[in-house]
A and B are shown apart, each in its own frame.
Chain A
Amino acid sequence: MTGEPLLEVRSLRTYFATEQGDARAVDGVSFEVREGETLALVGESGCGKSVTALSILGLVPEPPGRVLPGSSVRLRGEELVGASETRLREIRGGEIGMIFQEPMTSLNPVFTVGNQVSEAIREHQSFARRPGESRSAAIRRTTIEWLGRVGISEPELRHGYYPHQLSGGMRQRVMIAMALSARPAVLIADEPTTALDVTVQAQILRLLASLQEELGTAILLITHDLGVVAQTADRVLVMYGGQIVEEAPVAPLFREPRHPYTEGLLHAVPDLYRRRARLAEIPGSVPHAAAWPEGCRFRPRCPYAWERCFEPPPLVAGSAEGPARQDRCWLEEEPKRRAGAGFGVAVRPAGSP
């Protein structure tokens, strides 16, 4: 399933100028997406997931945002940070496709969906003319083929529909057609199912999985929904405070989370089989990106925190599993401290079993 590193992100730092100083939205993130795999990027709102995605494509609005020198994004070895706008335009929608969270607002309301999908196809020349066929006829035919391919019934008719005439799920299918029409090597899916209801969510995930198999696309899936991660991802990156706090293959991560933040996220998922008195939440909320806490950024919300956590912990490989797993926590050096603390313990009301 997984192969060579396709997209390599190294020490990516994207800051935004705010009145309270620089908001360090993404602060030294490194990871790689390998051919054909699904890599999930998980975390709460405000921890830098979407900014990471926009930074990869060079779409961070500037000002107020900026990608700091020393950051590197390589696609098959080619540096994208500081690449020419012309080259970036070839890559956007060509080699890296992107779909967004809100299918309601991500499509332009005044153009037909056919028009919007065909733009991508025309821009990246991703159509083949049949003998005797005109350029525009070939683009139109390819567009309709793609609409059919993403599961839109009567694609010929829907080609002339405006976004407001389609349901949320249909609009997201249109977005997928647009993003995949140039057969990109990587698809960045930023919360692709968050705005959809659960049945439609499952359909969209199945569609993405089957297109991934067909086209061999690698997917960087950005989500806060651990259910979606469990269903689709091969590997998981957990982000907190603009940094990666844990990286692991999907099964081990769910079986044995190492970073307290991951543990907290997993505790916050309702579990049908283990009845708890109440769902454990992570106390507090993500601090503002202009004022990350000193030392470990999760420290103020962490049930294990002790004095050492005022020093920033490094991202280190977990002891047993080797380099596939990494996490950013002093507990790796003092594992004894795990005993007697944790999320379930901290919030269980007194007197309940």
Chain B
Amino acid sequence: MASGGCALIRFALRRLLQAVPILVGIVTLIFLLLHLAPGDAATAYFNPNVSPEIIDRMRENLGLDRPIHEQYFRWLRAFFTGDFGYSFGQHRPVSAVLADALPNTLVLSGVSLVLIFVVGCAVGAVQAVRQYSKLDNVLTFTSLFVYSMPGFWLGLMLILAFSSPALPDALRLPISGVTSIGYEFMGPLGKLLDRARHLVLPSVALGIASAAGVARYMRGSMLEVIGQDYIRTARAKGLPERQVILKHALRNALVPIVSLLGLYVPLLFGGSVVIEVVFSWPGMGRALYNAILGRDYPVVMAASFFFGVLVLAANLVVDLLYAAVDPRIRRA
């Protein structure tokens, strides 16, 4: 096991180094995309009352009259030193905008991710163990149904259902924001509970379709594993069926599921743009959405960059998990 741990660290370092060129690529792509789009930052101030001279001066001030490669390198240096510029829309530094939004997005997508994999794997595993039972059929139908629902629509339906005055107070759930009014006056436990209640609907809306997808995969993966020779060996050893399934089958069935994680994380961030708007969740997705509408380019660039970083980080974690789950990967 000691040598295994060491190999895992080396594996992680190599993957980390491989991420650097990809990061540079992402930054370059964002830069080029914004320069390909018509107009520039100065056009945000287009106004019949502003004379062309002033706009030219503004371009000069912002460095937009320089050759493109010079702009690129200046921008790159600024970016990697953590200077993301100034938000025209919110009139404060982009770093401040992101510092507010990033934690909210991380909490929401983190909870969703846990929901996706815990619920997805549990449902899929139960279905596989009870293959062709009534429960299996019901769950297959349900997951297909849920999988087919668009997240924003499901979000709206959840809002309708859980804010309905017909519901008793105890069952009603908050439908917008991160905290309730009067949050400042709650005790520590009350604060935690309040945040948790606010998380329920957005994380369900964001994650449930993916959870249904994972369940479908997990069912297939688990069924394949249950048919393997080593499961028969485990039974022939006299192990209780619970141990055969929870130890021998589950761990092997999870190997292909872990790689799904890498596919679902970008989907999750894409989905968070819509879901954060629907639930007024003050995260990166909503910040990006508002910035695009308001042509707040510095925020668009920085938010896209951070989504890119998050996806990269998630893939790194996936690779590490993959190696942790399957010892055969570690050698490669």
Stretch with Cβ within 8 A of A (4 or more), from B31-39, B155-163, B231-239: B231-239
Per a CB cutoff under 8 Å, which of A105, A112, A178 touches B229? A105
Q: Does B255 contact A (CB under 8 A)?
A: yes
Q: Does A94 contact B (CB under 8 A)?
A: yes
Which residues of chain A are near B236, meaning CB under 8 Å?
57, 59, 92-93, 97-98, 100, 179
Per a CB cutoff under 8 Å, which of A108, A120, A164 touches B230? A108
Stretch with Cβ within 8 A of A (4 or more), from B90-98, B267-275, B278-286, B324-332: B324-332
Interface residues of B (CB under 8 A from A): 1, 4, 228-230, 232-241, 243, 247-248, 251-252, 255, 325-328
Q: CB distance B238 to A124 under 8 Å?
A: yes
Q: CB distance A107 to B230 under 8 Å?
A: yes
| Given A59-B232, A100-B229, A160-B1: A109 touches B238 (CB 8 Å cut-off) | no
Given A59-B232, A111-B251, A112-B1; 9 other pairs, CB 8 A cutoff: A59-B235, A90-B238, A92-B237, A106-B233, A108-B248, A119-B234, A119-B239, A120-B237, A160-B4
Which 8 A-B pairs have CB atoms at the shortest separation, nearest pair first? A93-B238, A92-B238, A93-B237, A105-B229, A108-B230, A98-B236, A162-B327, A106-B229
Q: CB distance A164 to B232 under 8 Å?
A: no
A175→B241 CA distance, assembly (Å): 20
Q: Does A206 contact B (CB under 8 A)?
A: no
Q: Tell me the nearest residue of chain A to B252, going by C-beta.
A: A110
Per a CB cutoff under 8 Å, which of A90, A91, A108, A123 touches B233? A108
Q: Does A263 contact B (CB under 8 A)?
A: no
A137→B252 CA distance, assembly (Å): 27
Which residues of chain B are near A100, meaning CB under 8 Å?
229, 232-233, 236
Which residues of chain A are near B248, meaning CB under 8 Å?
108, 111
A172→B242 CA distance, assembly (Å): 26
**Min CB–CB distance B268 → chain A (angstroms):** 27
Q: Does A288 contact B (CB under 8 A)?
A: no
| Given A105-B229, A107-B230, A110-B251: A89 touches B239 (CB 8 Å cut-off) | yes
A109→B328 CA distance, assembly (Å): 8
Q: Tell me the nearest residue of chain B to A54, going by C-beta.
A: B232
A260→B238 CA distance, assembly (Å): 40
Which residues of chain A are near B326, meaning CB under 8 Å?
109-110
A89→B243 CA distance, assembly (Å): 12
Q: Tell me the nearest residue of chain A to B249, going by C-beta.
A: A108
User: What is the number of residues of chain A that contact chain B, defined by CB distance less than 8 Å?
Assistant: 31
A89→B234 CA distance, assembly (Å): 11
A97→B230 CA distance, assembly (Å): 15
A329→B104 CA distance, assembly (Å): 81
Q: Tell me the nearest residue of chain B to A120, going by C-beta.
A: B237
**Min CB–CB distance B243 → chain A (angstroms):** 8
Q: Does A8 contact B (CB under 8 A)?
A: no
Q: List 12 A-B contacts (CB under 8 A).
A: A59-B232, A89-B239, A93-B237, A97-B236, A102-B229, A106-B230, A106-B233, A107-B233, A108-B248, A111-B248, A178-B233, A178-B237
Q: Tell me the nearest residue of chain B to A115, going by C-beta.
A: B247
Name the residue in B4, B228, B232, B238 with the highest tally of chain A Cβ atoms < 10 Å from its Cβ.
B238
Which residues of chain B are near A102, meaning CB under 8 Å?
229
**Min CB–CB distance A281 → chain B (angstroms):** 29
Which residues of chain B are near A97, meaning CB under 8 Å?
236
Q: Tell me the nearest residue of chain B to A102, going by C-beta.
A: B229
**Min CB–CB distance A140 → chain B (angstroms):** 13
**Min CB–CB distance A236 → chain B (angstroms):** 24
Q: Tell me the nearest residue of chain A to B325, going by C-beta.
A: A110
Q: Tell me the nearest residue of chain B to A63, going by C-beta.
A: B132
Which residues of chain B are near A108, meaning CB under 8 Å?
230, 233-234, 248, 251-252
A90→B238 CA distance, assembly (Å): 6
Which residues of chain A are near B238, meaning CB under 8 Å?
89-94, 120, 123-124
What mask results when residues 172 to 213 of chain A are scored 1 for a CB within 8 Å of chain B, else 0? 000100110000000000000000000000000000000000
Per a CB cutoff under 8 Å, which of B228, B230, B237, B252 touches A123? B237
**Min CB–CB distance B328 → chain A (angstroms):** 5
Q: Tell me the nearest residue of chain A to B243, going by C-beta.
A: A119
Which residues of chain A are near B255, meaning CB under 8 Å?
110
Q: CB distance B240 to A89 under 8 Å?
A: yes
A98→B238 CA distance, assembly (Å): 10
A318→B33 CA distance, assembly (Å): 90
A220→B238 CA distance, assembly (Å): 18
A18→B313 CA distance, assembly (Å): 50
**Min CB–CB distance A182 → chain B (angstroms):** 8
A102→B4 CA distance, assembly (Å): 26
Which residues of chain A are near B233, meaning CB under 8 Å?
100, 106-108, 175, 178
Which residues of chain B are near A89, meaning CB under 8 Å?
238-240
A173→B236 CA distance, assembly (Å): 16
A106→B232 CA distance, assembly (Å): 8
Q: CB distance A123 to B239 under 8 Å?
A: yes
Which residues of chain A are near B240, meaning CB under 8 Å?
89
A107→B232 CA distance, assembly (Å): 10
Q: CB distance A92 to B252 under 8 Å?
A: no
Q: CB distance B327 to A109 under 8 Å?
A: yes
Name the residue in B230, B232, B239, B326 with the highest tally of chain A Cβ atoms < 10 Å from its Cβ.
B230
**Min CB–CB distance B192 → chain A (angstroms):** 36
Which residues of chain B are near A175, meaning CB under 8 Å?
233
A119→B236 CA distance, assembly (Å): 12
Which residues of chain A are near B229, meaning CB under 8 Å?
100, 102, 105-106
